[in-house]
Amino acid sequence: MSPRIPKKPLSSIDLTALIPFELTAGEEAHLDHGIALFNAGKFWEAHEAWEEIWMNHPEDGRFFIQGLIQLAAAYHQLQRKVYRGVLIHLKQAEERLRLFPPDFLGIDVPAILQVIADSLAAIGTQASLAAVDWAGLKIADIHRHSFSADQESN
């Protein structure tokens, strides 16, 4: 296991330097496996797959992985009917993911952010968390395009 990377606040991120970091072949596999698990509704397992990447990167780009982890945590909480946790994790995921370019690590970030925004708006229109139609919340799908060596050189 790698040594734990110290935490730092989002306010200390250099937004001009948020470029995709290099993933090892194993990390690529963890990212893609996590996406497959997430899209299959296995949110806790997706979180675990992505944490393997998050723990190994000191770069500010790790906040993107943390945003995916928090999105998975939100939906895991939804499955457990822990509605306050859903709200907290959706807000944290949005706060992190919105910092990144629209195709960070090949992931369609705007599509995820739109689902989060729609969910937060639906929650926000209710007088209380008890009044929210939790079953009606849309769950994001994560889409990632892969690059071939030819695409990267163009």
Q: What is the largest CA-CA distance in the chain?
A: 53
The low-confidence residues of the chain, meaning pLDDT below 70, are 1-20, 58, 147-154
pLDDT at 13: 64
pLDDT at 64: 92
pLDDT at 9: 60
Q: Which residue ranges form the domains of the chain, and what is each CATH number?
A: 25-153 (1.10.3450.10)
pTM score, whole prediction:
0.84
Q: What is d(CA 139, CA 75) in angstroms, rounded to the nearest whole number?
A: 7
Residue carrying the six token digits 């963890």: 30
Cα torsion 32, 36, 38, 41 to 10°: value is -170
Q: What is d(CA 151, CA 144) in angstroms, rounded to the nearest whole number?
A: 15
pLDDT at 153: 38
pLDDT at 152: 42
pLDDT at 148: 39
pLDDT at 94: 97
